Structures are given as C-alpha cells and as structure tokens.
Amino acid sequence: MRVVIVGGGLSALRSAENLRKRGFEGEIVVVADEEHLPYNRPPLSKEFLWGDATQDELSFGVPAEDPGIEWKVGHSVIFSNLEEKTLTLRNGETLTYDGLVAATGVSSRRLSIPGPQEGRIVLRSLNDAISLKEKLKPGARLVCLGAGFIGCEVARTAQRVGCDVDIVAIDPVPMVVPLGKDVGAEVQRRHEAAGVRFHMGQSIAEMLGHDRIEAVKLDDGTELPADFVLETVGSVPNTEWLAGNALDLKNGVLTDAYLRCGGRSGVVAVGDVARFANPMFAADPLRIEHWQTAIDTTVFATATLMSDLGLTDEEPKPVSIMPWFWSDQGNVRMTSYGMLGLADSTEVVEGEITGECAVSYLRDGEQVGILLIGTEIKQRGARFKRQLAKTRRGLTAV
Ligand SMILES: Cc1cc2nc3c(=O)[nH]c(=O)nc-3n(C[C@H](O)[C@H](O)[C@H](O)COP(=O)(O)OP(=O)(O)OC[C@H]3O[C@@H](n4cnc5c(N)ncnc54)[C@H](O)[C@@H]3O)c2cc1C
C-alpha cells in the first residue's frame, strides 16, 4: 500500500511521521519541489536573516533510518487524477497511490508593477532567504511592499543589520486584518519609534531606475530610494495540481470536517493549503497559515487516512484546533491564541497597550482570541490559552 504526500515542508514531514506512529507500514513517497529536505520556515525572516541560525540548524532532519519513506526532492506534481489515483510529475513520471496527502502550502502573491523588475524579491523559501540575506548590508535601502507579519518581521531584521527601511502598504495600519486597527496602530508606533518609516494607504505605482530598481514611486507621487523591494502582499495556495477534480479550490482546497479534500475518501489536505471549518470557533472554512496548524492538522488528517484505507477500526475525529502563532518583530514580540481575525472588537485585559499587555479579541461580545504583546506576559501564555479554550468549549460544545 502506498501513500503519496505532495509538498516537502513541515506538514509533509509531520504527515509521514504521524502515519508511521499510527502503524502505517506501507510505502510513503514524499514529492517535494524544493531541492531541500524539510526545514523550518519561521527563522527565514528572523534568526537566519540576522545570522543567529545557520542553514543546517533550520533542517528538521528526516527519519532517514526509515527505508519505506522515499523523498523525491526537486520534483513537482503538476497534475492529479483523483478518480484513477494517479499523479503526474513535471519530469513526466506517473505515480499511483492508495492514499494522498496535499501538503503543498502557499506561494508569495505577486503584483504587476511597471518599471525595472531587477531588485524585486519575495520571501517564502530557503533560497529566497539566502538571496535576501546577501542583500541585507548596512546602508542598503529596503522597501517592503506589504505590512503583514512577514513584512514587519523582515523590516525590523533588516534594520537590525543596518539597512534603511520603508514599509508601503494599502492598509490603514500594519497587520490590520488579524490585529485590528487599534493594536495595528500601536505596533506601527513602536516600529516607527525604532526608525522604520511607514507609508500607509499607499501602493507602489511604478518602479524607477534603468536596468534595476533605484527608487519606487507611490500612488501619491512620493519617490522613495530603494536598492531592492521585498513584496509581502499575501499568499496564493499551491493547488494548481489539484485542478480538474471537481474540488473547491477558491482559496486553498476545501475539506470536509475530517480534512478530506472535497469529502473524497483517502485524499486529505494539511497545513497552509487546507481550508477547513474549525468548530471551536464556529467559523466558516478558513485557511490558517500558522506553523502549529501545519502540525495539528496532520494529527487529524492521518487518522482520517488510516480509517479510509481500512487500516484501523478507530473512528476519525472532526478537526477542531486552537490556532496559535508567534511573531517576533524586533522588540515587538507577539503570541496569539485563537482566531483574532474573526473579532469585531478588542479589549486590553491586562497591562497597558503601550507596554506589555494582553488584548482580548471579541466577536459579538464572545472571546475568539487573545494576543499577548511582550516577552514576560508570553511566559503566562498557557494560562491565557486554557482560559480561551474553556470559554470556547462552553460556547460551542466542542
Ligand atoms: C518567512 C516566513 C516566516 C514565518 N514565520 C512564522 C511565525 O513566526 N510563526 C508562525 O506561526 N508561522 C510562521 N510562518 C508560517 C509557517 O512557516 C507555515 O505555516 C508552515 O511552514 C506551513 O507548512 P506547510 O507544510 O503547510 O507549507 P510549506 O512549509 O510552505 O511547505 C509546502 C511545500 O510544498 C512544496 N510544493 C508546492 N507545490 C508543490 C507541488 N505541486 N509539488 C511538490 N511540492 C510542492 C512547496 O515548495 C513547499 O516546499 C512563516 C512563514 C514564512 C514563509
């Protein structure tokens, strides 16, 4: 019996490990389009960039002693036929499977902007980070297009190594969707105090320069000098290879409550690419791009797969998770539990918004998340998480 896992990141690795833990004795083939074995992405915008983590330290290490797992790195799946249970690789090879795990994550969204293109970069992969790291030299002028988590993390890292940094974003404040206006404005204030310049409510209308970018022109005509432009304007789920199988691929692959793609037996999705309903938050199906969710989803999905393949009598459980993430942006360190983006209001429940604090996120007066800003309050994260879990269980009977 063979399970094929498509994707070579955290969720692919944990899927393989979880299948073995659950007693799957068959063949596992992991098809991964990057040439690296699974590695840790979060340090790419932080420790790796400023030099505290080496490339070797990013590697998760694969269960090399398991000869039943084949790592086909440097190969992409370009087409799938879920009726016939076949996958086509870019090199023309065809793979058959009994069980399939979609673990293909996301790619960086690109905008179409006129002018020279040399000097435009994104940050998603280790190779992207290696090339960005080479550019982060004291005095280099970086413009970040987009003020989300990755943009703000890189901005502060770049500043730490001596770059001159501007952030340009169409939103009113950084990270407005997950954090809301008040908290976003406070985070902006802290980054500005550290010397990062923000140009909010603006986009880049044109890249200026001859052979390569020398400056950018904003919508309002402002020109900012730039040696390079990092684009962190969101992500696009990697689902092209699943097209043509009557799946809902509008924003990632829609799964049922057991993480089956379109409810199809023996085909599950995990990590950033999966769009699923999380009953603990009574939310419409959403993708959650968090490191921990990449792990948690594999626990549910591999149980589903084992059941679908007839390898266990255990009933699979519907997915229900407490999302959490962290983001280190210079001296602004955030930890969050729950689904902040669902909230319509916020309330500081401990500390002051200008210092170490805990901010509760509410939807119709019910708590859907908690954000901790600061390193000391983070030590008490488990308590805040427990409280939130208790509240949510009481509200949703999960
Ligand atoms: C710079 C950066 C910083 C981050 N920081 C944080 C953080 O501080 N906190 C946090 O909670 N989360 C953070 N994240 C998010 C976290 O890393 C992701 O949620 C996690 O990596 C998702 O794992 P995944 O396995 O679903 O996807 P990925 O890790 O993206 O792996 C998917 C893999 O599949 C490959 N692939 C795609 N299509 C195909 C195909 N057709 N065939 C074969 N292979 C394919 C991709 O190339 C990729 O290697 C960060 C992400 C980035 C990029």
Is pLDDT of 397 > 60?
Answer: no
pLDDT at site 120: 97
95 lines ligand 1 (CB under 6 A): no
Q: How far is the CA of 41 from the centre of ligand 1 (A)?
A: 6
**Delimiting residues of CATH 3.50.50.60 domain(s) in the chain:** 2-107+235-308, 110-231
Q: How far is the CA of 249 from the centre of ligand 1 (A)?
A: 18
Q: By alpha-carbon position, which residue is closest to atom 27 of ligand 1?
A: 105
State pLDDT tens for residues 157-169. 999 999 999 999 9
Q: How far is the CA of 150 from the centre of ligand 1 (A)?
A: 12
**Amino acid present at 76:** S
Overall average pLDDT of the 267-289 stretch: 94
State pLDDT tens for residues 66-85. 878 999 999 999 999 999 99
Q: How far is the CA of 8 from the centre of ligand 1 (A)?
A: 9
Q: How far is the CA of 351 from the centre of ligand 1 (A)?
A: 34
Class of CATH domain 110-231: alpha beta
pLDDT at site 64: 66
Overall average pLDDT of the 181-199 stretch: 97
pLDDT at site 65: 72
Overall average pLDDT of the 288-308 stretch: 98
Q: How far is the CA of 243 from the centre of ligand 1 (A)?
A: 20
18 lines ligand 1 (CB under 6 A): no
- Which atom of ligand 1 sits closest to the CA of residue 104? 34
Superfamily name and number for 331-396: FAD/NAD-linked reductase, C-terminal dimerisation domain (3.30.390.30)
307 lines ligand 1 (CB under 6 A): no
Q: Which of 158, 135, 157 is nearest to 328 (CA)?
A: 157
Is pLDDT of 280 > 70?
Answer: yes
Is-contact 234 137, C-beta < 8 A? no
Q: By alpha-carbon position, which residue is closest to atom 53 of ligand 1?
A: 124
Proportion of the chain above pLDDT 70, given as a percent: 99
**Delimiting residues of CATH 3.30.390.30 domain(s) in the chain:** 331-396
Is pLDDT of 242 > 90?
Answer: yes
Number of CB atoms found within 10 A of residue 21's CB: 11
79 lines ligand 1 (CB under 6 A): no
Is pLDDT of 355 > 80?
Answer: yes
Is pLDDT of 116 > 70?
Answer: yes
360 lines ligand 1 (CB under 6 A): no
Best mutation site among 123, 272, 332 for ligand 1 pocket (most ligand atoms within 8 Å of CB): 272
State pLDDT tens for residues 361-384. 999 999 999 999 999 999 999 999
Residue 12: pLDDT band (50, 70, 90) is very high
294 lines ligand 1 (CB under 6 A): yes
Residue 257: pLDDT band (50, 70, 90) is very high
- Which atom of ligand 1 sits closest to the CA of residue 38? 49
Overall average pLDDT of the 49-63 stretch: 88
Q: Which of 114, 342, 283 is nearest to 208 (CA)?
A: 114
Is pLDDT of 398 > 60?
Answer: no
235 lines ligand 1 (CB under 6 A): no
Distance between CA 362 and CA 145 in Å, rounded? 30
Distance between CA 241 and CA 15 in Å, rounded? 19
Distance between CA 188 and CA 173 in Å, rounded? 7
178 lines ligand 1 (CB under 6 A): no
Q: Which of 105, 386, 369, 368 is nearest to 237 (CA)?
A: 105
Polymer length of the chain: 398
Residues paired with 47 in a beta bridge: none
Superfamily name and number for 2-107+235-308: FAD/NAD(P)-binding domain (3.50.50.60)
Q: By alpha-carbon position, which residue is closest to atom 45 of ligand 1?
A: 7
Distance between CA 393 and CA 229 in Å, rounded? 44
Q: Which of 130, 67, 142, 78 is nearest to 104 (CA)?
A: 78
State pLDDT tens for residues 198-238. 999 999 999 999 999 999 999 999 999 999 999 999 999 99
Is-contact 146 233, C-beta < 8 A? yes
Q: How far is the CA of 10 from the centre of ligand 1 (A)?
A: 7
Residue 396: pLDDT band (50, 70, 90) is low
The helix-helix angle for 181-193 and 149-160 (nearest 10°) equals 10
State pLDDT tens for residues 120-154. 999 999 999 999 999 999 999 999 999 999 999 99
- Which atom of ligand 1 sits closest to the CA of residue 75? 43
- Which atom of ligand 1 sits closest to the CA of residue 11? 25
103 lines ligand 1 (CB under 6 A): yes
For 178, phi and psi rounded to 5 degrees? -75, -35
Distance between CA 34 and CA 31 in Å, rounded? 9
pLDDT at site 393: 83
Overall average pLDDT of the 326-350 stretch: 96
- Which atom of ligand 1 sits closest to the CA of residue 271? 26
Is-contact 17 63, C-beta < 8 A? yes
State pLDDT tens for residues 308-329. 999 999 999 999 999 999 999 9
358 lines ligand 1 (CB under 6 A): no
Residue 62: pLDDT band (50, 70, 90) is confident
pLDDT at site 61: 82
Classify burial at 97, counting beta carbons within 10 Å of its beta carbon; exposed 0-12, middle 13-18, buried 19 or more.
buried
Chain mean pLDDT for the chain: 95
